[in-house]
Structure 1
Amino acid sequence: MIYPVTKDPANAGEIIYLDIKDVVFVESDNRSVIFHTIDGTFYPLIPKIITLESHLVPIGFRKLDRTNLVNIHKIRGFDEHRAVVFFEPEFTNNSKFATISNFEKNQVRKQLREWIETNNKEASDPSS
């Protein structure tokens, strides 16, 4: 099994994919889990949105409200009245969506339209 880890307890460093078979023991210290291998000490990536944000922003994710990080390359629609984005150009009651805070909606309204236009164009272009 491969597990995402970093070399620091705050998970601020580069993500490393550690094979659990290389772990010689797991320790709990000061409310942190630590994986020990013969060659080093590793900290499992904590699945908190704030931790993931720093790692995912460089590849196109954006925090649109306090509960989600959205891959801007996957946004296909925007309902301004409900303050949600969709990931399909034709959305239904069963479509996945992510909410947008009012603050973010006002900040990124123009960008959202540009992202949607670009993403829908790329999705319809068979050469991309």
Structure 2
Amino acid sequence: MDMDLWMAAHGVTVVEVDMPGTMWGCYCLRDHAVVLRPGLTDRQRNAALLHEAQHVLRGDDGHQSSKIEDRINEAVACQMIDLMAYARAETQCGWNSGAIAAELDVPKWAVRAYRRVLDRAVREAS
């Protein structure tokens, strides 16, 4: 999915602005704008836009609590990672999050978030 088109279709402008800290992006409800850190790779930019799209849909303004941000990262990870591809990557790479991320072409945080989803599913099933 072309996330720039998705943002435009939802009336959201995407701009790049130097940001403090390590955040890749932020949604400003008042301005209907997603602000992205300049210099993100295509993979990072797509992941950031998928994350910020969740904030757009929720009507959030700016960074939320860590619990909400974690849930959003988990939802994004589930959009980005196919279960069978993850299983193959884990078989090849073991528990090395960086290697799995490289194999799946997703950010390392997405692998960690996906593992939380899998762990929760296993706990709920038992």
- Greater Rg, structure 1 or structure 2? 1
Give the number of the structure with larger relative contact order, counting CA–CA contacts within 8 Å between residues 6 or more apart: 2
**The two structures share one fold, judged by TM-score above 0.5:** no
When the two structures are superposed, what TM-score results if normalisation uses the length of structure 2?
0.25
**Structure (1 or 2) with the greater helix fraction:** 2
When the two structures are superposed, what TM-score results if normalisation uses the length of structure 1?
0.24
